[in-house]
Chains A and B, each alone.
Chain A
Amino acid sequence: GGGDDGDGGDGLIVGFAQVGAESAWRTANTDSVKAAAEADDRIAELKFVDGQQEQDRQIEAVRNFITQQVDVIVLAPVVETGWTDVLQEAEDAGIPVVLADRGVEAADEDLYVTRLGSDFTEEGRKAGQWTVETFADDADGTRILELQGTTGSAPANDRKTGFFEVLDAEGLDYELVDSQSGDFTAENGKSVMETFVTTHGLDGIDLLYAHNDEMGLGAIQAIEEAGFEPGVDIQIIIVDGSAAGFQAGVDGKLNYIVECNPAFGAQLMDVVVQVEAGESVEKFTPVEEGVFTADQFEAELPNRQF
């Protein structure tokens, strides 16, 4: 290879089919990828297409990349299934595909070169692990509220699965008091939490597990407005770890953050270049992601990029 058919001089032309711009996390992810491509001399041009959370549009984008004869296609698939044909088309056209963030179903493993990203189930497990540790001695059983992400979306499904997998496996005595979708937004997170508060009250509720920052932050407001103290009257876990989330942590309003790191742009560019050069790469490269407890929030806050 080597960008011989690209017309942008000596660098690579990379097509990036992003999921959308549905959350701050996603925007940070896009920014990271774009900035890394910009800074990287080996990349001549990054063609970016926003799929607006629809698989159809992403498929269309990949086809467009194929017609444009880019060197490498980066795909952040919105769902796992249904990519076989378009990935096959890319392969037929001799264009390697790198998956970013989310994955595709196992049967399509041969059709992409590598995947770089987070493991949502693992994130759920991390949250579950902390819960098991924290509430191990809770005599009267742990009563949990859950704010799910958009019903039917992969992060929502996986973060739920991973979480309860650990709770069940570790034999924690818990009760899921209620679990509703907050659509990953602060608005719905807040309004669902308000209803939780009026329906169930907060007395006796031990933990709120929010599938992302925004819903968690919305819920915190609802808890405060109902006259309770978030983080104290009820413990709170959020996933993602934006600056705003960490700030809330520093203010003592939440107790545990499972990071989902969007800033893997530079890492991605390295992979892209390797792939184009035909070097062998691991099938899955996890993005470095941490977990943070209350005592780490303050120190981590300045490192947050989004």
Chain B
Amino acid sequence: MPDIVQMTGIRKDFTGVRALDGVDFTLKAGEIHAVMGENGAGKSTLIKVLTGVHAPDAGRILLDGRPVRFHSPAGAQAAGISTVYQEVNLTDNLSVAENLFAGREPRLGPFINFRAMRRKAKALLDDIGIDLNVAAPLSSYSIAMQQLVAISRAVDIKAKVLILDEPTSSLDRDEVAVLLGVMRRLAAEGVAMVFISHFLDQVYEIADRMTVLRNGRLIGSWDTADLGENALIGHMLGREAAELEQIERVAAAHHVEDETPLAEAKGLGRKGSIAPFDLAIRRGEVVGLAGLLGSGRTETARLLAGADRADAGTLEFDGKRLTGHNPRTAAARGIAFCPENRKTEGLVGDLTVGENMILAMQAARGWARSVPPARRERLVAEFIAKLGIRPADPDMPVKNLSGGNQQKVLLARWLLIEPRLLILDEPTRGIDVGAKADIQRLVAELSAEGMSVLFVSAELDEVTRLSDRIAVLRDRELIDVLETESERTHERIVDTIVARGGHE
């Protein structure tokens, strides 16, 4: 097979960080090539260098054997490289259809033909298997849907190279299946693809070859068939495979002794986002929320966290009914909330890692009582170490961190205040295997120490493994709570959801 893309000796420095150091990368026609590595290994940077977002500090890029140097993604796109970047990069003030066709709208003379555009958008989404109102603003859909829209856009550009940087991070099984189907079809049509994902099963299912990066350096490239899972993890993390044994086994075996609920929602609901529901979370218990995309998990979490105002029902915490529940009072009572969209709702990009971590604690103390510098430095250093945040520099603006490390900073912010109820909405999204295991272990440990956790994840495995009880949602309604161990299985959850379906 001919090489479509050939990158040699790529180096990229950011202030204080060498993100890529002499990396070689080759993409062959028609192959699906996975780029693997820990958070911050340099995967996204490699993509951005290839597509002209960043200029490389050294190295050559050949496209179809000819040297190229793009100055913007538009240039790369024109040359046949279509990309879905890691964070959803669409403009949510425009409609779905406009986002799909921005820059290449069907036109009538100088004017955009909106009717044709909507029709084409509909057809495109249909083809991929998504049913949306294409005239609605993109902002009215969940992140997962937005991600699918971004993918559809990239696919429709009909490029010879398609790059997908963690496209599946917020998708659940069905959606992933849809995506992988599309990828296979494109591969058959001869499109070369770069696929970045932290889900090893997906990678093994779809990729022909793998390239592993670590710390900005190339570790090697292998055919998928030649590289076992443990060996891959070993290459990624640079640790011995034996060390990693326990990663899959998380200590979920603990018992909830205290039966009195720490938090109890009764008929809590909000018009237009989630139907009134009852849910109790006991001390030291991990409650998982399972459901399909858009089923209302986020909304449930937000209501409990006080991020949104409920318009029905009551919420009791520690036996007391909460009135005027909002993020501030919630934090004061020990309810912590890591929102699902870290870029827009979680982090303050311009502030440093340390400042972002200290934010909730400082908010609770009020502005006048600043956290003493010594204590602050100690805490920040402690959590940077504990969560393995890299680079371990508390003074780095958080926006310069890789996605996974940003997630850890957000988590650290809330762990710092030692909450009693920790609400995690997709905390493991975009996190590498090692870190994911770290976070899962952390959740297990925290709950063993008596902290209650509400855990939302698109990965059913993760939810079933960690949770003591699982609330199942569908169509913005809480339809069941699975209590016993035997109930908390993958199949049972799927059955519950399907059983309530009926129509479709």
Query: Do A and B touch (CB < 8 Å)?
Result: no
Residues of chain A whose beta carbon lies under 8 Å from any beta carbon of chain B: none
